[in-house]
Structure 1
Amino acid sequence: MESIRRRKPSLKPIETKGKATEAAEEEPLSPSARLFHEPNFNVHVIGIMGLKSRITPQVVKEHLPHTLLKHPRFSSLQDTNTPFKGCPGSEFNPRRVVYGTVSLDDMKLVKNALNMTVTDVALGVTQAGLSIYLNRRYGEGKKDKGATEKNNNLPKNIRLRSTILMNLRPSVGIQALADMMDENTEAKWGNCVGYVLLPFKIALRDDPLDYLREAKATIDRKKNSLEAIYTFSTSELALKLFGIKASSSISHRIITNTTMCFSCLPGPQEEIGFYGHPLAYIAPGSYGQPHALMINCQSYINKMTIVLSVDESVIPDPHQLADDFEQSLKLIKDAVVERGLCHE
């Protein structure tokens, strides 16, 4: 009997009725299915089939499109070819790195008003900025009537997934080099990073706070899972068992099936210096990843720097995208203040 490998599918977030902050699907989930997808009760049903004969791939391929692939809840979707999606080999193209600085105090104001984290706010701002930018790109040649739900140029059901890096160190933040080299410290030297695959909801919202609510609902599911730990452990295991080439090939294949990469890192809360030279900001970026877009958010004292690393053949106007992120934060902050959710 041929054995069947068991793989945990990468599930897209299930949107259900019953919450004011979530949109309804074409076919609402049953009460028990909605229960299974609550953040504190996130259950996946795994089916294992044992076959008495070898699988005939051609027969399976012929029947799948007429059965399982037509099911309204089937979630193995290739998450759309948008203006952000890089072509194969994008990692070898020239890069442009741009950055914009926003107020960390503004992000904390929103965070405290809505009982979120800074990362939640950063994700919401990113989701809003990406939606506004793509709406403009899809509407090229049309008269700009504003980015509202009514004046929407976006195609329906855009699927955009991001690889989000997560720090798995016991001690977060930037540590002193001498402390990291100490044998007895928790802040060990070397990388300890896992990642999760996070779908971004690309849509225009008349209420700017909806961007935050949607982003938080999605990231909370990921935080309550062990996905980051699994990806880190699997990478280490593959490296030990198969070597660096096989391990890097596996990671590269996973990443190329996503559209972009995102990270949000806390920085020093007090001014630091480089050999007596005080720093004004920290703007980390990267080069060589198989994405046309990478977004790094880095805090430093009372500032948040948003750094974009882009393939200019795909995103020719990165400064406009950075401006969209800044404008999105302003819209969200203004909505919080106008509704009296907090005090400046």
Structure 2
Amino acid sequence: MEQRAVRRLYDVPLSPLAHIFLSEPKRENVIIGYVIFQSPVDVEAVKTAMRISVSICPRLRSIPVTRRSGLKSWKELPQINIEDHMIMLPDEPDIGNKEGENSETYINAYVAALASWPAMSRDKPLWEIHILPPRRQCIVLRLHHALGDCVSLLALFMASCELGGDLSAVIPSIVGGKNEEGLLSSMARAPLGVCRLLKLAWRMLLISVFEAKYTLYRMEDKTSIAGGLRVHLMPRKLATLSLSMDDMIIVKKKLNAKVNDVFAGIVICGVEKYLRFKSPEDLLKDPVIYFGSVSSVRKQGAKELLNSINEGHSIEWGNMVTNLFIKVKLASQTKDPLQYVRDVRDKFNKKKKSNEAIFSFKLHHFLPVSGGKLPERFYNRMVAHTTVGLSNIMGPSNPISLKGNQVTKIGVTISKLSTGLQVHMISYNQKAYLQFLVASEIIPDPDRLCLFVDEALREMKTAAFHMPTDCPQVTGRLYK
């Protein structure tokens, strides 16, 4: 029995993406999330919530170690001190004329500063909680991306909160197409096993060739907001934008699209407007750019994960995500504001129909086998050759509370990526909260970009009222 316990503590291997995220401290990807409350933060309630989360999630009480064989694994610690992970910012002195200072500006500046902080210490579990001064009514969570993806971490946070209503109403279910298990089992199904295997092998080859080309050289037209291999070293700025989910759903229904299609469409349209304002010469030849969209290959969404946690079932805490790289053409003269959503919708649907996300995820599983710096260089060059990074998380649709203190806003972003522009969206309580994390030397005025994205959604909503419903040839069901 004792031998089994020791094995459980020391022999949990790192996932392939965790290998990449932990390979170079100067580039480590850290998830920075913040939660704003209606009232000042109850510190004891936060500590209680974290004790619950630590008891549920083994990753929060583990550190990465390198064994004698050279392989990396998680070492679960017998106990941890929550206080070692809490960073309490001192109460602010009398600030006189600054009393009316916008708390959102303060929080954005603090999160942007955290995005440039040095690597997290490997001597203790890779997470921190920053409790901002009382009048800011906010906590900031800093978690290493190797601990897990945002969907599983969101479900873990929800397990510590009070949900304002029925679970099915609070967290909508995410319905995907073919999941990983169904795809792999179909490969061995007779009598189509050989033909299907050849077809799947051909798809894997095509994706491998594309990603190899994408890694070796930039396939897009370089604009003034393009990223690069050293962009992760630049200081960051954060700007935020709140949009109505109802407005996005109007466009979604008219185009038979998904919320993620509308999100990507308005961001790309906003980027085109920003380039037209900042450097119109970039648009003279209708440049082609790529954006990377984070795609989850989990068989469960946040609601199903939360159900499993509440029922005491174990779940996978690794990073079950991959990037889909989508090519879009920026038009110097946009006549139809909805065209960007149509283009994105059609390309996403084709990729979902071909299960590209699952194949790409499996391909990245083979990278750490090569050892050395190759996997990390492969991943970083792919990110560096992408103009925009996008991520969309579907959060609670009703208000939630922590010990009676209602959450008013949730935000999330990721540090140390080599894109000049990252846009992360999380929906909460019928609102879509967008975080624009930018390299300040590339996009010095992210607030202006937010205004252009807001304008793009308003134009698309107006155009949607005056058009019949689209009927795309390829359909998917990411969102109900």
1:249 aligns with 2:377: yes
Report what 2:222 is aligned to.
Answer: 81
User: Among 110, 119, 122, which residue is 2:260 paired with?
Assistant: 119
1:216 partnered with 2:345? yes
Q: 3-state SS of the aligned residue for 1:108?
A: helix
- Deviation of 1:282 after TM superposition, in Å, equals 1.6
Aligned to 2:366: 237
Give the distance between the partners of 1:304 and 1:196, measured in 2 at CA.
22
Q: 1:155 — aligned with what?
A: 284
The AA in structure 2 aligned to 1:292 is G
Aligned mate of 1:291, from 419, 426, 447: 419
Q: Is the 8 A contact 2:229 2:380 kept in 1?
A: no
Q: What's 1:164 paired with?
A: 293
> What's the counterpart of residue 59 of structure 1?
none
Change (3 A) 1:177 1:266: closer
Shift of 1:105: 0.7
Partner of 1:263: 391
Cα gap change, 1:159 to 1:114, in 2 (>3 Å):
closer
Distance 1:195 1:226 in 2: 12
CA offsets per residue over residues 107-132 of structure 1, 9 Å max, x none? Answer: 11111122111111112111211111
In the alignment, which of 249, 274, 289 is matched to residue 133 of structure 1? 274
Deviates further, 295-304 or 78-87: 78-87
- SS of match in other structure, 2:301: coil
Aligned to 1:188: 316
Aligned residue in 1 for 2:435: 307
Structure-1 separation of matches of 2:305 and 2:424: 22
Residue of structure 2 in register with 1:102 after alignment: 243
Gaps of 5+ in 2: 1-201, 207-216, 471-480
- Aligned match for 2:458, one of 318, 325, 330: 330
**TM-score scaled by structure 1?**
0.68
- Structure 1 residue 201, shift from structure 2 partner: 2.2
Percentage of pairs with the same residue: 26
Structural RMSD (CA): 2.7
| SS of structure 2 residue aligned to 1:284 | strand
Distance in 2 of aligned mates of 1:213 and 1:206: 13
Residues 1:229 and 1:300: Cα distance change in structure 2 (over 3 Å)? same
CA distance in 2, matches of 1:269, 1:230: 31
Write 1 or 2 for the structure with the bigger share of helix: 2
Change in 2 beyond 3 A, CA 1:89/1:105: same
For the residues of structure 2 that align with 1:177 and 1:243, how far apart are their CA atoms? 35
Find the aligned partners of 1:274 and 1:226 in 2 and give their Cα distance: 38
Aligned length: 257
- Offset, 1:236: 2.0
* CA shift digits 1:76-117 (9 cap, x unpaired): 973122121134311011111111000001111111122111
Q: Residues 177 and 121 of structure 1: is their aligned pair in 2 closer, same or farther, counting only changes over 3 Å? A: closer
Counterpart for residue 320 of structure 1: 448
Deviations 1:5-41 (A, max 9, x none): xxxxxxxxxxxxxxxxxxxxxxxxxxxxxxxxxxxxx
Answer yes or no: is the 8 Å Cα contact 1:181–1:189 preserved in 2. no
